[in-house]
Structure 1
Amino acid sequence: MIKKKSSFLTFIFSMLPGGGQMYMGFMKEGLSLLSACALIIFLGSWLNISPIMFVLPVIWFYSFFDAMNKMSLTQEQLEKLEDKYLFQIDKLPSINPNLFSKYKLYIALLLIFVGLSILWNNMLNVISAFLPGYMVNVLYRISDRVPQLIVSLFIIYVGIKLISGKKEELKSEKDFQPQDDTVHDVVIQEIEIKDNAEEI
């Protein structure tokens, strides 16, 4: 239940992204913020992509000041606010059932990548005892960089698809737009026909 609570405890819980919202009863919003932080930390550590961590301060500041703003509202104003997921998770049941079949290949590739990554890391720990130190060091460096390489290639691929899709969209819009000269000629012909009809 959403209701006005202790300002001090709200402040304390707001130090954790989503904690202040959950304390006041905004469970869906708090869960969204907390999940976003956990996902970014997981991806940053697992894929060894430290620049993604720069998103964390943005989420933290949003979460903190959102909780502080909600804390300053009256009970009536709080009750008018809707508790909803920030990423439209509540719309998941209405997703087209064919969505997963459409992206089945991408989901399969992602699962294969995750499975191979886990298998490789476990096997590397086992075989490192039988290999020379320099070779183990090289293998660990490769295993650290491969996820970054795959993610960077995926980002480049998505960027190229977005650019090509935008070009096709602009081209199709241009093909459907009538030419100004053609419209102008048609209007002049209609005026001439009307003038001729009036003269007759």
Structure 2
Amino acid sequence: MENKKSLALFFSLIPGAGHLYLGLQKKGLQIMVAFFGLIALTDWISLPIIGMFIPIIWFYSIFDVRKAIYNPQSCEDNLNLSFDFIHVKYLGYIFIIIGVMAIFRNVIFPLTHIHIDWQITRYIRTSIISLIFIAIGSKMLLDNRK
């Protein structure tokens, strides 16, 4: 049993892997997708400020595996995020702010120096993901008004 605890703690260094090892597949996959998805998103839209959430997910994963090892009755296989009106409203604002920041940082500011080369694809990519964030945030805010 002690070997299983040690291995679970070792696997917890990769976000979600410790949960997968303990048999908490849903939670492990949710954490893994959030962690690596956030890394990919940070790189894709070139907005390093989003990367500040990466260590939060990593530490949450480590401490949650530790909690699941020593208190298995308290752990569930889902993250159980509650999205009531206030939280969704703030999440919507965050999506809009991230989208606007990405457009300004990666499209508007660089266009003032007008480079017509490989960066155009980067501008288009950033514009698309930024508009998606703005649309998601706007939809969340409008849906909660009803």
Does the alignment reach a TM-score above 0.5? yes
Counting only pairs closer than 5 Å after superposition, residues 101-120 of structure 1 correspond to structure 2 as none
How far apart are the structure 1 equivalents of 2:8 and 2:140? Answer: 42
Task: Specify which of 124, 135, 141 is matched with residue 146 of structure 1.
Answer: 124
How far apart are the structure 2 equivalents of 1:72 and 1:157? Answer: 42
**Structure 1 residue 67: Cα displacement:** 0.6
Among the aligned pairs, what percent are the same residue?
A: 28
How far apart are the structure 2 equivalents of 1:65 and 1:33? Answer: 12
Give the equivalent residue in structure 1 for 2:79. Answer: 86
Q: 1:139 to 1:164 in 2, by over 3 A?
A: same
Q: Is the 8 A contact 1:4 1:71 kept in 2?
A: no
Q: Which amino acid aligns with 1:44?
A: T
Counting only pairs closer than 5 Å after superposition, residues 31-110 of structure 1 correspond to structure 2 as 31-73=29-71, 78=72, 80=73, 83-86=76-79
**Structure 1 residue 158: Cα displacement:** 4.0
Q: Does 1:27 align with 2:25?
A: yes
How far apart are the structure 2 equivalents of 1:54 and 1:44? Answer: 10
**Structure 1 residue 66: Cα displacement:** 0.4
- For the aligned residue pairs, the C-alpha RMSD in angstroms reads 3.1
Task: Specify which of 4, 15, 18 is matched with residue 17 of structure 1.
Answer: 15
User: TM-score, with normalisation over the residues of structure 2?
Assistant: 0.59
Q: Larger RCO: Structure 1 or Structure 2 (Cα < 8 Å, ≥ 6 residues apart)? A: 2
Larger Rg: 1
**Structure 1 residue 15: Cα displacement:** 0.7
How far apart are the structure 1 equivalents of 2:46 and 2:6? Answer: 37
Q: 1:17 to 1:163 in 2, by over 3 A?
A: closer
User: TM-score, with normalisation over the residues of structure 1?
Assistant: 0.45
How far apart are the structure 2 equivalents of 1:30 and 1:164? Answer: 32
